[in-house]
Amino acid sequence: MRLIRGLTNLKHLSGQDSSPLANGCVATIGNFDGVHRGHQAIIEQVVRKSRALGVPSVVTIFEPQPREYFQGREAPPRLTAFRQKFEALLAAGIDMVLCIRFNGQFRSYTAMGFIDDVLLNGLGVRHLVVGDDFRFGCDRAGDFSLLSAVGSKEGFSVENTSTVTVGGERVSSSRIRECLADGRLREAEQLLGHPYRIRGRVVYGRQLGRKLDAPTANVLLAQMPALEGVYVVACTLESGQTRDGVANIGLRPTVDGKQPSLEVHLLDFSGDLYGQHIETVFRHRLREEIRFDSIDDLKAQIARDFDHGRAWIAANGSMESQALSDTTN
């Protein structure tokens, strides 16, 4: 799979005789935040058509996401960071990802400018999969009808995206965010097609956890997370080992945290995880994140969190034990 960063690199690639886009591609466009079941249905359409035509499948995304550009800190939190999104698209079978920098220059693109520079001259698109409510361009003139009309003249076809519903309602990133914010992890899992997870690199923190008898792996978060609080989790380490744990995600109000963090305490574990990329699966919400009057009060609550976490795992099953069983069988 190939990542194309920006329109300059796309232009350079498309100008090469040996370009993988020499015969065009099948493409789709969107944020793909969470790569949920609705996105997965779109990807299936794209991959199926690309194999039928014998050309690469391409997903076009934007960094930052448009709402982040326009709304700044008021934008909804992301479900997945860029790297995790890229890996999910790879796992779903996409051949190439075009990541366009969404900035002042790009936001001034007209709909026809986008079609000419990105779809035709850049990607050489032969088939495009988009929703019938898809809009683009600074003039808001870009929609399904315009794409279909231009496609009929320029030789590419346009297909509507599949709509996926769960419980009679459309699957969407905003619906998943609502579930996560409310602690409805099981419903979020149904919409995503898998348990909610965060992948990230373990970095050095303030070492406060050790003083609280709760050493943690501090996972770097680039943006505010879509959920907060204390959770029962399961972490997959770079070694492939899965460990049960309890995690706090949020701003750590008792210690005046300024940056969002994910702090994972792996139960009955000792070892050095610094620098590793680990995956944290959120299984059950124990409580919301709250501010305590003293560090001693926080320490006492953390001990209770661990007890509650162990009790929940005992009643609902250990992912650590399940992973070990799968390995030995």
For residue 133, the tally of other CB atoms under 10 A from its CB is 9
pLDDT grade for 1, boundaries at 50, 70 and 90: low
CA-CA distances (angstroms) from residue 83 to 33, 48, 208? 11, 24, 28
In the chain the domains, ranked by start, together with CATH numbers, are: 2-166 (3.40.50.620), 196-328 (2.40.30.30)
Instruction: Write the pLDDT tens digit of every residue in 120-164.
Output: 999 999 999 998 778 999 978 899 999 999 999 999 999 999 889
Q: Is the pLDDT of residue 254 over 70?
A: no
Q: What is the mean pLDDT of residues 245-254?
A: 85
Q: Please compute Rg for the chain using Cα positions.
A: 22
Ramachandran area for residue 102 (φ above 0: left; ψ -120 to 50: alpha; else beta): beta
pLDDT tens-digit readout, 271-319: 889 999 999 999 999 999 888 888 888 889 999 999 999 999 999 999 8
Q: Cα–Cα distance between 230 and 214 in angstroms, integer?
A: 13
Residue count of the chain: 329
Give yes or no for residue 207 having a pLDDT over 80.
Answer: no
Residue 131 backbone phi and psi in degrees, to 5: -75, 155
Angle at CA 249, nearest 5°, toward 245 and 252? 120
The first and second tokens of residue 5, run together, are: 């960063």
Identify the band that residue 321 occupies on the pLDDT scale cut at 50, 70 and 90: confident
Separation CA 128–CA 50 (nearest Å):
10
**Residue 218 pLDDT greater than 60, yes or no:** yes
Lowest mean pLDDT among 85-99, 165-179, 199-213: 199-213
Quote the strand ranges of 102-205, DSSP E.
125-130, 157-160, 165-166, 169-170, 197-203
- What's the first-to-final CA gap in the chain, in angstroms? 32
